[in-house]
Structure 1
Amino acid sequence: MSTVIHISNENEKSTNYKKLSFVYRLSSVIEKQFGQDMKKIIHGIKVGVALVLVSLLYLLDPLFEQVGENAMWAIMTVVVVFEFFAGATLSKGLLRGFGTILGGGLGCLAAILADNFGKIGNAAVVGSTVFIFGAAATYCRLIPSIKRKYDYGFMIFILTFNLVAVSGLRADKIIELARERLSTIGMGFAVCIFISLLVFPMWASDELHHLTSSKFDKLACCIEDCMKAYFNVVDEKESMPKIKISDCKAVLHSKSNDESLANFARWEPWHGRFGLYYPWEKYLQIGELTRELASIILSLHECLESPLQPFTPLQHAIIKEPCENVGLSLALTMRELGRSIKYMKRCQTTLQTLPKLQSIKQELILLSTSSKLKGIANTESLAIANLLFLLMGVVDKVEVLAKEVETLGEVAGFHSK
């Protein structure tokens, strides 16, 4: 005796998803392709405008008389600092400023200290300070947490300190040179920040928010495609249709991109729906869980393509209806969680989602111990058991994801539906 899961309006929702599937995917492809191209064009125009503005320091005689050849530092700052995302530009600019000030200040102190010794003592002091600060800063760059967030600042510090300490100039000339270069670097940085934050800004926080929510729909489509392809096979001689698994692999390899976007998002000012101290670490935790789910789905995909899987209609009939219901329910749940993040609205995880997932898991357990599987050959029975085990793994991971999305809604202050 088997238990039947009663899911209200599931067939109606499934029909609506199938009708909108082609339109949704086509629109998403068009939006992704042309949206990214347009953003790249806008970014190129913004960089061009910034370069024109700082080039005026060279082109206009009154400005050139004030800054002289140091104007090249403003141009170099724009080229080096101006990034695609506003948070990346802001972080690189501030780190460059801190690294330049700290490195230049310590370099001046080292040069002043070395002036008090003779020629041999001067070289010894400069060499010792360069070794100590260079080695210490390089060691700090190798610490993962520092490398991920402040690597560029430490690199600028090493470069500036060495250039100032070994320049051989007198202390008063070093201070004057540092002041002039800092002023031009500040001009370049100001131009970058003004254009990056105020002219069609590209927010890393928006990108991370969108990518995190879209992962749920990608994985939902992969689950649906796996179930659909597997149960569409009606003959042992018929090969299973190829499943588009590229989206699942894209989710699996998204770790470095997510961490970079989260790091840039922390530097961005209050804008739109994202305030200061927004819980971006929760996005990283959800991203890690989606990658774990993607790995299970890839294992499920390999299991379905195994030659040991039974493909006769009779054998399929034993598990077809329960597994299709499980796949449909998981896909609907994943899309609901994705919409919850996308529109920043709380979903009823505790009252609706978790009980539904518990019912799905119970159905899979009853199916795996069903007497109907005993009439199948041992190898095929093991293959079906492996399939059911992986489906239970997907259910468990979706359950954890649902709890994390609910936690994110509480911490980030999502609106109640």
Structure 2
Amino acid sequence: MDSIIIAIPAAEAQVSGPPSKEKKKLKLSTSPIVSYIKEKRSSKQDTRKLIHSVKVGIALVLVSLLYLLNPLYEHVGDNAMWAIMTVVVVFEFFAGATLRKGLNRGMGTILGGGLGCLAASLAQQVGGIGNSIIVSVFVFVFGAAATYSRMVPSIKKKYDYGAMIFILTFNLVVVSGLRAEEVMKLARERLSTIVMGFAVCVFISLLVFPMWASDELHDSIASNFQHLATSIEGCLEEYFRLVNDKEDQPTSSFISSCKSVLNSKSKDESLANFAKWEPWHGKFGLYHPGEKYLKIGELLRELSSAILSLQDCLQSPKQASSSMRQLIREPCEAVGLSLALTLRELGESLMKMTRSQQEDLIAPKLKSMASELSSAMSSSQLVPLENVDGLAIATSVFMLMEMVEKVEKLAKEVEELGELAGFKTQ
């Protein structure tokens, strides 16, 4: 069988011993920190859910006064039900989502009611069987056009709910068969109660313990750096663990954290979309760099995919022998530790919205690590290995080099975000 040749530095040609006590302490200390962060975030989420529930309850009580108080009921009548429906449908967890849905509902109601009144007026002027024909044509044209617009990605992303309300309002008005002046009165009364419900939602959502989607996106992206740092450490620790140790110790749970980052695209895009509708608040002011956050999130998902690919390679039945794995243990663990420390530094810098003085040194450090890994594959000193051993080790080293490049891109994006958002220098 032909042998594959892989380069190993001379200083690392011997089997290295178990990790030093300092490294063990460093790795073991991260687990309680991660657990504490998860527990703290879980407790914070439970509190926020309770606050949101209370806010919705208060909003429902306020709009119900339109029914409960006779002076108010005399002005709005049965149309008060539209205010209650507006609160139930519009009030969302995040303030930006509430504004987005409320404004969409308002625009859909105004456009649908206005065009419905015009169509109903035109149909009444024609009269006879032409009335039904014109109403049917208008219902078909506007219903089909609005439905098609909901499938256009750019419209669906921002105005899908408004298009749906437009279809509903237009059909209710134009098919009602009332005289034009009564249609106008009906649309005006319903719009006024919808505005009341929307005003209550906005007032409570923005002024009573507001939940900002921009802050949630910021915290989510920053915490993903910590998750991936722990995943890299856990992946390499499991790979270089001795066979007897693997039988005694259960598989690490870092895979679940890595997969949660990989599946975060939909959540990040929703939060960025909600953040665009939010008014001035926090350190970003009127402008929130949502696109830059989405770019960082995409790079984090690419890195997460690389970590999972490395994990699949390390769990393959065809693995290098334990002695051969020890030959590359020291350089690989050094690279993994540097990657983890870099990710934690970037995550902490992003979380605190500060620019570290060490950021300028991250790129050169990462390039140095890539150079060290490349030297392990160079032809300066050759060690003949079995075919399976050489392929397995070469694959692992290659995946680590890919991770170094992705972390380098992440560092660049975080630095650009700091410049764009005006992060303070430590």
Q: TM-score range by the shorter chain?
A: over 0.9
Question: What is the distance in 2 between the residues matched to 1:171 and 1:13?
Answer: 82
**Map 1:259-338 → 2, pairs under 5 A:** 259-312=269-322, 314-338=323-347
Q: What are the superposed Cα offsets for residues 96-145 of structure 1, whole Å, 9 maximum, x if unpaired? A: 00110011001111111111112211111111111111111111110112
State the one-letter code of the partner of 2:341.
Answer: L
TM-score between both structures, scaled by the size of structure 1: 0.93
Q: TM-score, normalised by structure 2?
A: 0.92
Whole-Å separation in 2 of the counterparts to 1:215 and 1:75: 39
Please list every run of 5 or more consecutive structure 1 residues that lacks an aligned counterpart in the other structure.
Answer: 6-10
Match of 1:28 in 2: 37
Distance 2:195 2:306 in 1: 50
SS of aligned partner of 2:280: coil
1: CA distance between counterparts of 2:382 and 2:106?
69
The correspondence for 1:67, drawn from 54, 58, 76, is: 76
Q: Given residue 169 of structure 1, which amino acid in structure 2 is its aligned partner?
A: L
- Contact between 2:104 and 2:161, CA under 8 Å: does it hold in 1? yes
Match of 2:3 in 1: none
SS across alignment from 1:374? strand
Deviation at 1:335, TM superposition (A): 0.8
Question: Is 2:219 the partner of 1:224?
Answer: no
Instruction: Note closer, same or farther for the CA distance 1:238–1:307 as it changes in structure 2 (3 Å cut).
Output: farther
2:349 corresponds to which residue?
340
1:130 to 114, 124, 139: 139
1:17–1:110 distance in 2 versus 1, CA, 3 Å: farther
After TM superposition, list the pairs within 5 Å mapping 1:381-392 onto structure 2. Answer: 381-392=390-401
Instruction: Report deviation, 1:201.
Output: 0.7
Moved more, 303-312 or 385-394: 303-312
Residue in structure 1 matching 2:173, options 133, 153, 164 = 164
> Using CA pairs below 8 Å that are at least 6 residues apart, which structure has the higher relative contact order?
2
Q: Does 1:186 align with 2:195?
A: yes
Corresponding residue of 2:16: none
Change in CA separation of 1:385 and 1:18 when aligned onto 2, cut-off 3 Å: closer
Q: Distance in 1 between matches of 2:370 and 2:10?
A: 11
- 2:191 is the alignment partner of 1:174: no
CA distance in 2, matches of 1:237, 1:170: 80
CA distance in 1 between partners of 2:122 and 2:358 (Å) = 65
Structure 1 pair 237–265 and aligned structure 2 pair: CA distance change class (3 A)? closer
Between the aligned partners of 1:240 and 1:86, the Cα distance in structure 2 is 46
Q: How far, CA to CA, are the matches of 1:130 and 1:183 in structure 2? A: 25
Write the distance in 2 (CA, Å) between the matches of 1:188 and 1:59. Answer: 15
Could you tell me how far apart the structure 1 residues matched to 2:366 and 2:86 are?
A: 53
- For the 8 Å contact 2:236–2:336, the answer to whether it is kept is yes
Could you say which residue in structure 1 is the equivalent of 2:61?
52
Q: Retained in 1: the 8 A contact 2:96–2:212?
A: yes
Deviations 1:149-206 (A, max 9, x none): 1100110011111111111011100111111111111111111011110001111111
Change (3 A) 1:172 1:44: same
> 1:103 touches 1:160 (CA, 8 Å); kept in 2?
yes
CA RMSD of aligned residues (A): 2.2
Measured in 1, the distance between the counterparts of 2:271 and 2:282 equals 17
2:47 aligns to what?
38
* Residue of structure 1 equivalent to 2:259: 249
Is the Cα–Cα contact under 8 Å of residues 207 and 261 in structure 1 kept in the other structure? yes
User: How many residues are aligned here?
Assistant: 411
**Corresponding position of 1:415:** 424
SS in 1 for 2:316: coil
Question: Which of 101, 107, 113 does residue 116 from structure 2 map onto?
Answer: 107
Q: Once the two structures are superposed, what CA deviation does each residue of 1:246-299 show, in whole Å capped at 9, x if it has no partner?
A: 000001111111111000011011111222122100111111111111111000
- Determine the C-alpha separation between the residues in 2 that align with 1:287 and 1:52: 40
Cα pair 1:236 1:311 within 8 Å, conserved: no
Q: Distance in 2 between matches of 1:149 and 1:16?
A: 49
Greater shift in the superposed pair: 350-359 or 165-174 = 350-359
In 2, are the aligned partners of 1:95 and 1:153 still within 8 Å (CA)? yes
The answer on 1:87 being equivalent to 2:59 is: no
